[in-house]
Every structure is written in C-alpha cells, then in structure tokens.
C-alpha cells in the first residue's frame, strides 16, 4: 500500500472555481434569508410589544428551538433598535456587578466598578434592546448579580439610559442544560410570558412571511382615564382581598414564576393602563396580568375589571323597562345579584317592585336559570304590607321549571353514581 502524501498548503493563487461556488452559495443563503413581514393577529407577540412599550422587563419561557431568539431579533429590527445579546450563563457575576478598578488614590477616590464593554456600547447608543439569553442556566451567583441590572438598570457604576429595553429568555428546567430554578427576587422582577409556536405562523414564516411586531398605538385622549381605570381595578381587588398583596408560593418551582407582591402589582397596574390606552384584546391583557402576578390573582383581577364595567344597580332600578343587561351569563348574574343586594340595603316597596320588573326582563332576554337565585332572595325581602306584583306570576313558572330540571338532573347523577 502506497503511503498517503501529506497535505502541503499551496502558496499559489486560489482556485477561482472554489471562489465562484462560494459566491453562489452566498447568493443562495441571501435568498433563503430574504423574508417579509405582514400584519397578523398574534396575542403573544402583542403582549411582548406592549410590555416592551411599558418599559418592563420581560421573560420568555419556552422549549429550545421554539423561536424565542428569532422573535427578539425580528422585534429589534421592526422597532429599529440595536440588539445586544448577553448569554447570562457564560458570564461571571462581576460582568454584571462590575469589575473593581483601583485608581491613583483609592482612599480618597474609592474603587469604582467598571462596566463591561457591552454596557458601555448600550450607553453610547442611548437606545437598544438588551437580550439576556439562557437565563435559567445562570447559576445563583450570576442571578444575584442580575438583580440591579433588571430592576435599577445599573451595571457596575453605569446606569443604562431610559431608551434601553430588557427582554430575557429561558428554557424550563426540564429542558435546560444544567438548568437552575430562577430565584424568587429575580423572578418577581419580570413579566413572564409562555412562548409557544403557532402552526400557521411557523408554516407561513417558513414560506417567507412572518408576523410584524409593532408597538401598540396609545390613544392620547385615553391616557388619564386609563390610569384611573387601572388604579381602581388593582386597588379595588387588593382592598377586597388583602391576602393577595404579597403571597410567596410555597414550592420552589412556582417561586421562579409570576407571583403577587407590591412590586408585581405595580407592574400589573402599569400594564393595565397601557392595555386600556391601547385598546388591546382581552386575551393579550390576560397573558400580561397572569404573567405578572400569577394565574389565580390575575384571573381575579380580570373578573373584577369585568364587573367594573357593569351598569349601576341604582340606574337599573330607576328604569327597569329600559335596562340593557350583559349578554354573558356570569356578568348578567352579577348584575342581578347586585340589584337584589341594593334592594336589601334600602328596602322600599317601589324599589322591590322595580327589581321584580328587572328580573322579568332578564327572563325574557336570557336563560331562566339565572333568575332562580335572585328571585328567591328578593322574595325573602318582602315586608308584610307589600302587595305581590303581577310580575311574579310570569317568573314563578320559569323558576319552578328550572328547579324541577335541576332536581331531575340531580336524580340522574345519583342514579348513575349508584350503578342503576
């Protein structure tokens, strides 16, 4: 067997055929990378852009390869913001807290903490998108160093300008390489968004067209009302539910996600105000609220906001014939219960009669099941000298039928449970 001849680099000119093929390959890569964007409803992308507009740190949770980095790259390009990516797990705590630099006279001047080069570039630019990638693989010491960066925008002795927005990404611990649970202090500084893929978006994007990321359009005439509404919503809930002001989850895994605290409620208030001024959908607002204070408190806040838009019970009692009741069953039930409660607080014959007229209207325009409990409660408020209005006759039949249906359903369930 003839021994192989060792390869010796040639000092001669490069083969033009090779250069030509590389140029063709570059042209093909450019064609593959040429994509366009289009307006498209995307709740998670709208939630991300609204949180960025509200200048709140956002943390995108998603499995590897789901498109978190691509979404941030497209967002930075759409907003014309320079993108700075920092992989948290490959940095030391001093890269965020600053490196001590000894000057000529430390006793007089102290020892300043010098920031890293990426922070200096951001300050020079004055604006940009700071992307903290792989946050769940950062060890606890690095997470502790990130606290001031995320909340106070400080890196060493340097303060990032207001034009800098912070977005982070993390994989669940089960799919993260050497993953760590997020520390509660760091987790409580973020708006957490679950990043999932949409089949139609992916297919159309691979075809060359991705959704366009745009900042929400805030209505200047709604700014003051939006702030008032947000304060009423949050303060109203916390007044009624003081235990929700601060509730640290009992398990380590849940502490690394959204949970209620005075800090996260302040963030929620800001998001509600921005969402109201922008007129975003209920789905977008739900993602943001639940991603800041958690599912339970977030859903309670959303339910409270729905009730804030309900008609005043006193106005309904003043003119029950012209009353317009909500279409949604839960909201209609809340209105009827509120009217009966108003009569209970100030029981008068005219108000009692008006409440019956309103219940009759609810029966005509909605499900009879919704009037059963209000009818029973209102009937119990009758005083001895009050005549029974004719309206009750119309309601009595519907209430009786509804109760018989409930009893029949209960008998069916009992029979199924006993195996008959």
Say what the pTM is. 0.74
Helical axes 262-278 vs 43-53, angle rounded to 10° = 110
- Please write the tens of the pLDDT for every residue from 138-167: 888 899 989 989 988 988 878 999 899 999
Looking at residue 61, its pLDDT comes to: 93
Query: CA angle 273-193-131, nearest 5°?
Result: 100
CATH number of 40-99+113-199: 3.40.50.300
- Mean pLDDT, all residues of the chain: 84
Tokens of 186: 């760091």
- How confident is the model at residue 408, as a pLDDT? 42
Beta bridge partners, 58, equal: 167, 191
Q: Report the alpha-carbon distance of residue 173 to residue 297 in Å, rounded.
A: 24
On the question of pLDDT at 110 being above 70, the answer is no
* 304 C-beta neighbours (distance < 10 Å), count: 16
The region of weakest confidence among 109-123, 126-140, 266-280 is 109-123
Dist CA 77 CA 59 (whole Å): 19
Helix (H) or strand (E) holding 309: none
Average pLDDT over residues 229-239: 92
pLDDT band for position 79 (cuts 50, 70, 90): confident
Strands 58-61 and 191-194: parallel
pLDDT of residue 14: 58
Q: Could you tell me which of 22, 157, 179 has the C-alpha nearest to residue 96?
A: 157
Quick one: pLDDT at residue 228? 95
Select from 405, 395, 401, 403 the least CA-distant residue to 336.
395
| Residue 345 falls in which region: left (phi positive, over 0), alpha (psi -120 to 50) or beta | alpha
Alpha helices (H) in 153-208, listed in sequence order: 184-187, 199-206
Q: Indicate if the pLDDT at residue 413 is higher than 60.
A: no
Give per-residue pLDDT as tens, 166-187: 999 998 866 655 668 889 999 9
pLDDT at 406 over 50: no
pLDDT of 111 over the 80 cut: no
> Can you point out the beta strands (E) in 148-253?
154-155, 158-159, 163-170, 191-194, 209-211
pLDDT bin (cut points 50, 70, 90) of residue 398 is: low
CA distance 265 to 298: 10
Residue 313 has pLDDT above 80, yes or no: yes
pLDDT of 8: 53
Looking at residue 129, its pLDDT comes to: 94
What values do phi and psi take at 44, rounded to 5? -70, -35
């Amino acid at each position: 067997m003839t021994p192989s001849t060792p390869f010796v680099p040639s000092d001669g000119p490069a083969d033009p055929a090779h250069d030509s093929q590389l140029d063709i390959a570059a042209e093909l890569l450019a064609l593959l990378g040429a994509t366009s964007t289009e307006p498209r409803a995307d709740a998670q992308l709208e939630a991300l852009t609204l949180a960025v507009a509200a200048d709140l740190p956002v943390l995108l949770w998603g499995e590897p390869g789901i498109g978190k980095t691509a979404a941030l790259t497209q967002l930075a390009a759409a907003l014309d913001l320079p993108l700075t990516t920092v992989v948290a797990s490959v940095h030391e705590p001093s890269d965020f807290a600053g490196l001590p630099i000894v000057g000529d006279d430390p006793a007089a001047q102290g020892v300043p903490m010098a920031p890293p080069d990426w922070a200096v570039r951001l300050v020079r630019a004055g604006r940009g998108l700071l992307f903290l990638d792989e946050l769940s693989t950062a060890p606890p010491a690095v997470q502790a160093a990130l606290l001031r960066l995320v909340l106070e925008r400080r890196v060493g002795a340097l303060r990032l300008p207001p034009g800098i927005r912070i977005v982070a990404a993390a994989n669940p611990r089960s799919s993260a390489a050497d993953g760590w649970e997020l520390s509660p202090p760091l987790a409580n500084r973020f708006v957490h968004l679950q990043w999932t893929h949409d089949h139609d978006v992916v297919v159309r994007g691979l075809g060359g067209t991705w959704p366009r990321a745009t900042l929400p359009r805030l209505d200047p005439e709604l700014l003051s009302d939006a702030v008032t509404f947000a304060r009423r919503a949050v303060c109203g809930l916390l007044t009624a539910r003081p235990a929700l002001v601060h509730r640290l989850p009992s398990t380590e895994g849940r502490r690394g996600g959204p949970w209620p605290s005075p800090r996260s409620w302040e963030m929620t208030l800001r998001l509600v105000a921005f969402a109201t001024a922008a007129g975003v959908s209920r789905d977008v607002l739900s993602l943001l609220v639940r991603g800041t204070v958690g599912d339970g408190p977030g859903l309670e806040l959303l339910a409270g906001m729905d009730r804030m838009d309900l008609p005043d019970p006193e106005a309904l009692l003043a003119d029950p014939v012209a009353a317009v009741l909500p279409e949604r069953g839960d909201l209609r039930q809340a209105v009827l219960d509120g009217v009966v409660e108003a009569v209970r607080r100030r029981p008068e014959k005219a108000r009692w009669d008006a409440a019956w007229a309103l219940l009759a209207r609810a029966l005509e325009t909605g499900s009879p099941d919704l009037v059963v409990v209000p009818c029973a409660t209102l009937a119990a408020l009758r005083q001895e000298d009050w005549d029974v209005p004719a309206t009750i006759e119309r309601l009595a039949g519907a209430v009786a039928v509804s109760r018989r249906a409930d009893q029949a359903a209960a008998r069916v369930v009992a029979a199924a449970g006993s195996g008959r």
